[in-house]
A and B are shown apart, each in its own frame.
Chain A
């Protein structure tokens, strides 16, 4: 891995390396983690790079503590992240819920591997899509982004850190094992091209400070620990000052806030890629590495005169309901291609209604290999 400075030249980078580089660029200055394939390179690189930027790296005793430590560091003012895979992601869930309820920005990278349990530790899988959404207990909203290339891993890492700071929420970056370990030649964006969001600090007297202040767009200045604003943060339901409450109006206000700060800002959070959809009669819905095979399949099928397109979510949570609805209204056949037993399929089914008239087709693989463009092509031929 080269230093960031001579960036105009193309570099040969792994997805995991791109994430570490982007994290440094996004001003992540704290990493806590526990080794796990296929994500360990991120921790290794952060342990090497962070001290050069006066940042801190700590290898914790497990993923429960890694998640706790990044939340603590974020509360004390450092942009923080961790990286893991399925089993570790499961262990992080309780404290991800803490970051949700306490509104603590942080980044969790989950390089997915085959599950359940130890499953297929070195094989690709898209089995954690639902865990990313509903892994922690209780109602909550979450943002999860999903790149399909090394360059996009870099870009979405920066975007993930920005979104987490802006909306004071944990953001999950889901990555396919293939993208994490694959090397691609990339030209990283120049520093000036990047828009890095910094936490806005309050400039009012501490007595006036309200940690969970109401504001129409939910974006308010946030104080860090140790900077003169003394306040309380709790895992319990709390009022706007952060003090525990069981008053029904205060609890409802808190719960609504957690949902609305994400769902009132969908226009800002959701990104999808729409590929050759203008005249498409068949649409493929796929994310991450599967979308790459799908794109190839679309190109080949188009040459054969088949009107097929691709919808690829870059933001997987919140789910792009609106775009999916348009796809369902427009196309007569939808192929949902994924490396699991139907986690995306069920979401599409949720958005589907009689009115859309489209037919849904499953294309699933969960044996440790990815879907090839040939497999997608034969599915296209089958439904056409």
Chain B
């Protein structure tokens, strides 16, 4: 399929009339991710009516209001829980969760782990800007050790989460990482994540030039995008790379993609079994 020029695609999906300008600072990477998601949805050609986009609270979580699907902006950290309810009530919907590093791995960390354990069919797009943006720059579970935040004026001393490792360890069926810089890769990864049956986590490293960048002298938005380009390496090429080139670099790409039982499908089987007592006793005996 040949793609149209990007702007046209975006116009098909944005709620143009009511909600612009958007809330994000200039140079912020969250808008780029919104573009990636729209292009992925367009690539898959999913009906807007069949998509739910659910977010928590934070700069990143402000995303759903701009896109013309079924959109739900919930409470801090709880997006995955609301999404779980939607998915179980309407298993045929594609449910996309938008969350931040604080929303998804601090206050909402427990839900993140358990959604991965259940392997429920949600696409979790976690926008990692290494800071609490919305509240003015406090440290998050992914602020690098030594970096400055308003609540870490002497530098962070806590170790960070590796969000992808966390998702893998908790059992997610699809785990990937990309950046705001790699938008073509991001589109493809997001499309695969949405198509995946099971919990799909996509961590997108995104620049927050106005707060994290400014506090930590990371330069302009462009400088931060270049940093993403220069400090990440694709997972496909790490086996061929010499050790010294890999040092300190972040691995990008699809890290896990496996087929394991998905929660809503398993629940449908359970309903099927319960409605036929003979099946029910059979499955019972297996245990």
Contacts and interface: CB of A to CB of B under 8 A. Distances in A.
Interface of A: 30, 32, 51-52, 54, 56, 58, 60-62, 64-78, 80, 94-95, 98, 225-228, 230-236, 241, 243-244
A226 B90 contact: yes
A226 B49 contact: yes
B232 interface: no
Interface stretch (B4-12, B32-40, B75-83, B139-147): B75-83
A92 to B, nearest CB: 11
B170 to A, nearest CB: 11
B105 to A, nearest CB: 15
Interface stretch (B65-73, B171-179, B222-230, B250-258): B65-73
Contact of A71 (B68, B77, B85): B85
Q: Sort A-B residue pairs by CB-CB distance and give the 6 closest, nearest first.
A: A72-B85, A68-B81, A76-B89, A73-B85, A72-B82, A65-B81
B96 interface: no
Contacts of B81: 60, 64-69, 72
A209 B278 CA distance: 46
A162 B233 CA distance: 56
B286 interface: no
A94 B48 CA distance: 30
Contacts of B69: 230
B274 interface: yes
B73 to A, nearest CB: 4
Interface of B: 15, 18-19, 48-50, 52, 54, 57, 64-65, 68-75, 77-78, 80-90, 92-93, 110-111, 113-114, 267, 270-271, 274-275
Contacts of B88: 30, 56, 58, 69, 73
Given A68-B80, A68-B84, 4 more contacts: A65-B114, A225-B70, A225-B86, A226-B70
25 contacts: A30-B85, A30-B89, A32-B85, A51-B271, A52-B274, A54-B271, A58-B88, A68-B78, A70-B85, A71-B74, A72-B87, A76-B86, A76-B90, A80-B89, A95-B74, A98-B74, A226-B70, A226-B92, A230-B48, A230-B68, A232-B71, A232-B72, A235-B73, A243-B18, A244-B65
Given A62-B110, A76-B90, A69 B274 contact: no
B84 A230 contact: no
Given A95-B75, A232-B64, A235-B75, A75 B86 contact: yes
Nearest to B50: A226
A233 B73 contact: yes
A233 B71 contact: yes
Contacts of B70: 225-226, 230-231
A282 B65 CA distance: 58
A225 B271 CA distance: 23
B270 A232 contact: no
A93 to B, nearest CB: 11
A87 to B, nearest CB: 16
A199 to B, nearest CB: 13
A120 B161 CA distance: 38
Contact of B111 (A54, A61, A77): A61
Nearest to B117: A61
Contact of A75 (B50, B72, B77, B274): B72
Contacts of B52: 76, 225-226
Interface centre among A56, A72, A75 (most CB of B within 10 A): A72
Contacts of A64: 77-78, 81, 111
Contact of B74 (A51, A62, A68): A68
A30 B88 CA distance: 9
